[in-house]
Amino acid sequence: MDISEIYMKAQAFSKRLQELKSSVSDTIEWYPYPILENFNHISAILTGPYRELLDFSYGKPIMDIGAADGDLGFFLENLGYEVHIMDHIQANYNGLRGVRKLRELLNSNVTIYDIDLDTQFEMPIDHYGLIFFLGTLYHLQNPFYILRSLSKAADYCILSTRVAQVTTDRQTRLSNLPVAYLVSPYETNNDPTNYWIFSDLGLRRLVDRSGWDICSYGTVGEKVDSDPSSANRDERAFCLLRSRNMKAD
């Protein structure tokens, strides 16, 4: 299935989820951002055989890390895939109440793992075909550890994270340096769970050093002078990664 068709199906499934969420909106504060819209950005970066994205799960379980209310995981299950969700009750927007409620409402078999990624965690199983790791990396204290751990547990990964071309004061260009900017506790979105905002080259080097090859890469949002903290200068990198530790069946 081409990624463009996946996106169209995701839009339809998103409407179904919104109806379910509205039916219990008085009891749960739902994650406010449209997770399934990420397939539009993913579609923009994928070319050639990689556009058949879900084929690269090779019939193995798919993991969604940092899943918010689980929209993406439930959508993939609806397409017929075995899906695991990994998030942490203390970091999740509504303490995992949303994902657990949707699992109940959908009569879903998705497996939910409450795991703190800021610890020396272990993956729930040894081998995933595909991992979705969207909008979570810059919320973690040790991005190198998690990417290296994922490269040992998955064949492919769709990663997205915030990147920056200049410092917030515009005095230093980051674009061509393999670096990350450590934000202060309330510098970005007034959210102390934000940590490392990589430069483009910094993210690419991190990916390489942690055991991945880049299959497809692109950015969305602010294309000129994006910075680590301004709401109107937000740039996000999306990439499909292939592990150099791929396991043979």
What would the pLDDT profile of 94-140 be if each residue is shown by its tens digit? 999 999 999 999 999 999 999 999 999 999 999 999 999 999 999 99
Give the pLDDT of residue 248.
Answer: 54
- Six token digits for residue 204: 């690419």
Give the pLDDT of residue 26.
Answer: 79
Give the pLDDT of residue 189.
Answer: 87
Task: Give the C-alpha distances (Å, rounded to integers) separating 106 from 73, 144, 219.
Answer: 12, 35, 33
Give the pLDDT of residue 27.
Answer: 83
Please report which helix (H) or strand (E) contains residue 213, including its range: strand 212-221
Question: Is-contact 66 92, C-beta < 8 A?
Answer: no
List of the chain residues with pLDDT < 70: 247-249
List, in order, residues 6 or more apart from 21 with CB less than 8 Å away: 28, 30, 69, 98, 102
pTM beyond 0.85: the answer is: yes
Q: Residue 11: helix, strand or coil by DSSP?
A: helix
Give the pLDDT of residue 247.
Answer: 61
- Six token digits for residue 112: 């939910």
